Amino acid sequence: MTAPDPEWVVDDEDVPDEATLFRRVPDQPDFLDVDLNGGPPRLGLGVFSYRDEDGMSVYVSSRMKDEEITDEELIDWKRVYLCRFPVATVRRADAAGPYPDGTAPVGSDTETAGGVILDVAAFPDDERVQRSHGLVRIPIPPKATGWRPMWNAFRIKLMQATHVKVAKSADWIVPTTNGNPARST
């Protein structure tokens, strides 16, 4: 693994541990497979992908509150769903561990802590939403030696802490992962 880059800022103390992070989920099978017969959705690792080299895009609840934005304003029900997970999970240095059914995905025993930085988004058009944007990062930047295995282990931990909003309702659902049952919260 490469030593951490001193220019790579991983965490912003202005983001409180109690905050929740929201990630927009495209309506695509690699990200979220919704059962049209009413079964639980199946969450894919693609939900936690980097699309660029600056971090994984999220919206930060503490900033959303300042900007008076609801989670519903982040959703385009025709093509985008929403998932959420706690900032504390991102920052905690622990391993994902096995799924509830006892199976252990590769990398689930790797302890990885990350962070969240505030970062104004270039889109959408709503400036309030842009200002509530942030990035999830791990200690080494993308493309550096050792980044991929660390990110893979880290995103398993995120997946296990995630809830998804898949329909116009107040319910957040814990999606299935590896065949485990979902539940409403």
Domain count across the chain: 1
Q: What is the pLDDT of residue 126?
A: 87
Asked whether the predicted pLDDT for residue 35 surpasses 60, the reply is yes
Residue bearing tokens 């304003």: 73
- Answer with the residue of higher pLDDT: 88 or 51: 88
Q: Could you tell me if residue 141 is inside a domain?
A: yes
Q: Could you tell me if residue 15 is inside a domain?
A: no
Beta carbons of 117 and 59 less than 8 angstroms apart? no
Beta carbons of 85 and 158 less than 8 angstroms apart? yes
Q: What is the pLDDT of residue 119?
A: 92
Q: What is the pLDDT of residue 179?
A: 43
Q: Could you tell me if residue 135 is inside a domain?
A: yes
Structural domain boundaries enclosing 127: 20-184
Q: Could you tell me if residue 10 is inside a domain?
A: no
0.85 cut: is pTM over it? no
pLDDT confidence tier of residue 183, bands split at 50, 70 and 90: very low
Question: What average pLDDT is seen over the chain?
Answer: 79
